[in-house]
Amino acid sequence: MGGQGSTTIRSARRIRIGGASGYWGDSAHATPQLLHNDPPDFIVYDYLAEITMSILARMRAKDPSLGYATDFVSAVVAPHIRAVAAAGVRLIANAGGVNPEACGEAVRKAIAAAGLDLTVAVVGGDDLMPQCANLAAEQPRDMESGAPFPTPPSIASMNAYLGAEPIARALDAGADIVITGRVVDSALTLGACIHAFGWAMDDFDRLAAGSLGGHLIECGPQVTGGNHTDWRRVSDTLLSIGYPILDIGDTGDMTLTKPAGTGGLVSRATAAEQMLYEISDPARYLLPDVTCDFTQVAMDDIGDDHVRITGARGGPPPKTLKVCATYFDGWRGVQMVPFYGLDASEKAAHLAKVAAERAEAALRALNLASFDDVDITVVGSGAQLGMPVAAEGASEVTVKMAVKHPDAKGVGVFMKALSGLGLTTPPGLASFNSGAGKPQPVVRLFSFTIARDRVTPTVIYGDRKDIVPFGQFGGTAAVHAPASPDAVGARSGDWVEVPLIQLAWARSGDKGNTANVGLIPRDPAVMPYLWAALDEGRLARIFGHLMDDPSPEAIHRYFLPGLPAMNITLAASLGGGGIASLRLDSQGKGYSQILLAQSVAVPAHFVESMS
């Protein structure tokens, strides 16, 4: 094969892996930044989310040569491949989306145009659309909601989550660039570790460590200060934030850092926030290669922008693989309208209500069904946002109106009803400045599991295809952490009510229609008090208005004594999640901020020690 990476580096005691992309559309400056000065051994690129898969599937339906993250070719390979090759850096990317072979071919063309001879391997086998009819006959239920299997004609994509072993085998065979379809995000990093260190596929503690390292860097600068609770402490976040570098050894010990001279912040707080991002039970984080237990993970600041991370444990992976299908479920329309001046919020809400009533009447007149869902949200603090003169009693808000309908015509009816009210609204309408909204397809996520032996991972090198079967592991694993920290004793001395943000950091995210909020105390000793204050009943009162089932039973808390920290999951709290949701925040990104705004009672000395 003759590529730059044709000699294995299995003798390495440590490797460095840069994380250059957290989603399709992430900033393009990460690659040259990581290549500058002291390049890592590998750079990984994570482009895929469930929403992205549906977008790529629609692209492929229109053009069979597409269906992959074209940015990887145009913004990474084409402009930087000579520098990549000169530095001996190897690239691993899930840019293949629903058409990894087409992505591989586009990358080979870009390499040839640069006059280089590099080996490109493509990992496939995740696409289960050929099994769609058989699976429809079996009628698996959604693993989260219990919903029935969607009708096959509505399904846009269906992919099993593959693991790290095919990536490692491609690197073993000399691949300079490995392109995958749907793999778990952390597998990009774990694959490099398995290759470099020769880890066995039953060395579960090391596999868990590599998976944790991958989870930390898979969202790029989100672990180096992006979205950090203490955002004011982060230097040059938007101008020159550094992308993460994972320095990991063959024992699984690791240090997280970023390129010298870049902005951002790497600290115990930023790393802990990212570890808790988009997970549920931290003692059973299920992956195709390993079941991870992160409850005993410890993080320590060891210098400027360096954090040492230890304590990941692992056990056998589950006997099944997770599969995510995306399917078409009607149409939606969204319109944003600004109001300002006196009583702006009341006026905005009134306009939205009248527009919805007019649209319903028009639907009946046209013999069309009613809307499946209508969501009206008035956004604005009441501060004089954008006003040249702060006038007492005046405010500026925006009303977001969204509808869902089985027919695109129904969405069009709403847009027409809204635009027809321009001269009849209460005073203060600024303009319909976003123009007439267009109906957009609603794509929902359907997740289920499938037996591992029904999925066949492959590695394709041009005309050659190798099969990489899953190892014969599977079962239950991981030792669960204590259910809760030590109980808080009876009150004594002075206690104070303080905003939670003074006591903790937090990060929130989504898995389908479930939101999670990770909470890390600034002082580990305050953990028992936070646990006692934020029980399921209190959390239901805080988040119940966002949940289909607002009862405490729909909320779960998990304790991580290693940090220490707690993770909270809120079932059915995102209005369907992704682009199926009509909500302003369909991915729960702001839920941590809702929690941090709450007040809790703690002994006064905790506040005094932090001031």
Residue of higher predicted confidence among 360 and 607: 360
- For residues 285, 287, 293, 297, the Cα torsion angle rounded to the nearest 10 degrees is -100
What's residue 474's pLDDT? 57
- pLDDT over 90 percentage in the chain: 78
Q: To which H or E segment does residue 397 belong?
A: strand 394-405
Mean pLDDT of the chain: 91
What the block records as the tokens of 61 is 């339906």
Distance CA 591, CA 516 (A): 8
Band (37; pLDDT cuts 50, 70, 90): confident
Work out the average pLDDT over 114-125. 97
Q: What is the pLDDT of residues 361-398, one digit of tens each?
A: 999 999 999 999 999 999 875 544 444 444 455 678 89
Q: Is the CB of residue 313 less than 8 Å from the CB of residue 427?
A: no
What's residue 390's pLDDT? 42
Work out the average pLDDT over 280-304. 96
Q: Is the CB of residue 232 less than 8 Å from the CB of residue 240?
A: no
What's residue 8's pLDDT? 45
Q: By mean pLDDT, which of 35-44, 48-57, 543-552 is the weakest?
A: 48-57
Q: What is the pLDDT of residues 595-604, one digit of tens each?
A: 999 999 999 9
Band (480; pLDDT cuts 50, 70, 90): low
Question: Cβ neighbours of residue 141 under 8 Å, at least 6 residues apart?
Answer: 147, 148, 149, 448
Helices (H), 343-458: 344-365, 408-419
Residue of higher predicted confidence among 271 and 340: 271
Q: How far is CA 102 from CA 98, 501, 552, in A?
A: 9, 47, 48
Question: Cβ neighbours of residue 215 under 8 Å, at least 6 residues apart?
Answer: 185, 186, 274, 275, 279
What's residue 490's pLDDT? 75
Domain residues of the chain, as ranges? 14-126+161-317, 326-443, 495-610
Q: Is the CB of residue 453 less than 8 Å from the CB of residue 332?
A: no
Q: What is the pLDDT of residues 76-98, one digit of tens each?
A: 999 999 999 999 999 999 999 99
Distance CA 154, CA 328 (A): 5
Q: Is the pLDDT of residue 479 over 60?
A: no
Work out the average pLDDT over 538-559. 96
Instruction: Respond yes or no on whether the N-terminal peptide bond of residue 564 is cis (omega within 30° of 0).
Output: yes
What's residue 389's pLDDT? 41
Whole-prediction pTM? 0.93
Q: What is the pLDDT of residues 433-477, one digit of tens each?
A: 555 678 999 989 999 999 999 999 999 998 899 999 887 665 555
CATH number listed for the domain at residues 326-443: 3.30.70
